[in-house]
Amino acid sequence: MSDQQSSLWHATTIVCVRKGKSVVVAGDGQVSMGDTVVKANAIKVRRLGSGDVISGFAGATADAFTLFERLEAKLEQYPKQLTRACVELAKDWRTDRYLRRLEALMAVADENVSLMVSGTGDVLEPSDGLIGIGSGGNYALAAARALIDQDGMDAETIARRAVEIASDICVYTNRNIVVEKLESK
The model's confidence at residue 6, banded by pLDDT at 50, 70 and 90, is very low
Is there a catalytic annotation at residue 12?
yes
Mean pLDDT of 86-91: 91
| Class of domain 3-176 (CATH, top level) | alpha beta
Distance, in Å, from the CA atom of 48 to the CA atom of 38, rounded to the nearest integer, reads 26
Residue 46's pLDDT is: 95
The predicted-structure confidence for 26-73, as pLDDT tens digits, reads as follows: 999 998 888 889 899 999 999 998 999 999 998 877 777 888 898 999
**Higher per-residue confidence, 12 vs 110:** 110
pLDDT at 90 over 80: yes
**Higher per-residue confidence, 25 vs 67:** 25
Phi-psi region of 182 (alpha: psi -120 to 50; beta: other; left: phi over 0): beta
The predicted-structure confidence for 112-148, as pLDDT tens digits, reads as follows: 999 999 877 789 999 999 999 999 999 999 999 999 9
C-alpha angle 104-78-13 in degrees, rounded to nearest 5: 25
Contact 55, 182 (CB under 8 A): no
pLDDT at 3 over 50: no
Beta strands 114-118 and 31-33: pairing type? unpaired
Distance, in Å, from the CA atom of 162 to the CA atom of 159, rounded to the nearest integer, reads 5
The predicted-structure confidence for 141-185, as pLDDT tens digits, reads as follows: 999 999 999 989 999 999 999 999 999 999 999 999 999 999 987
Find the catalytic residue in 12, 13, 36, 66.
12
